[in-house]
Amino acid sequence: MSIASLSAKLIRKAGPATKRGSAAGGKSVSGRALQKGQQTKMAIVDAALGLATQIGLEGLSIGALAEATQMSKSGVFAHFGSREEMQISVIHQYFAQFEQDVFYAALSEPRGLPRVKALFANWMKRVAVEIQSGCIFISGAVEFDDRPGPVRDALATSVQTWLGAMNRAIVLAKACGDLRADADEEQMAFEIHGLILALHYEARFLKKPGSIERANKGFDNILARYGAPTSV
């Protein structure tokens, strides 16, 4: 199902409430209208995220989103107020999904190297999909690296939050004795991030076969260099 047909279906289900009911039931009607309005906005944001992975945040516009969702421009605009606010909503939604798939899914693993391995494995699963669909953290960094403003801030904050979580997991792994006593946690996190960036470039842009396997081998090499002998 295309983005347009899926989004239109979702939005029809979450369309504006009709005005009905007595004054006594006004609060109930108002509450339902608010809930449906929120559902409609989420459907629009999901459609916008699907577009952004294909055409980038910079290519995202009220007009393009109105066409994709089969809504009027004014209808889309009413939920955001500006193109910039729409872009920021997409970033927040993307990060929420990333956090759920990668970070929270790893919390069931014990602190230490098992959690670091789970974080990387979950990250790789996400990348395996994004090699085909695109990643707005990657494309957004290119589009907004030298363009100060709220959109760049939202992108940078999301990436920094995630990298901070990965760094904390590595620090805990060292505290648990799973890494060498002289291991440089920041350097290890930097190298892991570098693997992901290289994978996006080689697999998505250069279409090199075997890129995922090389990224996994690179992670094993990092563990071999930083891990305590009995933990790797």
pLDDT for residue 229: 85
pTM, two decimal places: 0.80
Nearest to 131, CA basis, from 214, 201, 213: 201
Q: Which of 32, 38, 69 is nearest to 51 (CA)?
A: 69
pLDDT of residue 80: 87
Distances (CA, A) of 101 to 35, 96, 129: 26, 9, 12
Helices (H) and strands (E) in the chain, counts: 10, 0
State the chain's mean pLDDT as an integer. 86
CB 60 within 8 A of CB 136: no
**What pLDDT, on the 0 to 100 scale, is given for residue 177?**
96
Please tell me the predicted confidence (pLDDT) of residue 34: 64
**Residues in the chain, pLDDT under 70:** 1-30, 33-34, 37, 231-232
CA distances from 222 to 25, 38, 53, 156, 160 (A): 63, 44, 30, 26, 21
Q: What is the pLDDT of residues 104-142, one digit of tens each?
A: 999 999 999 999 999 999 999 999 999 888 899 999 999
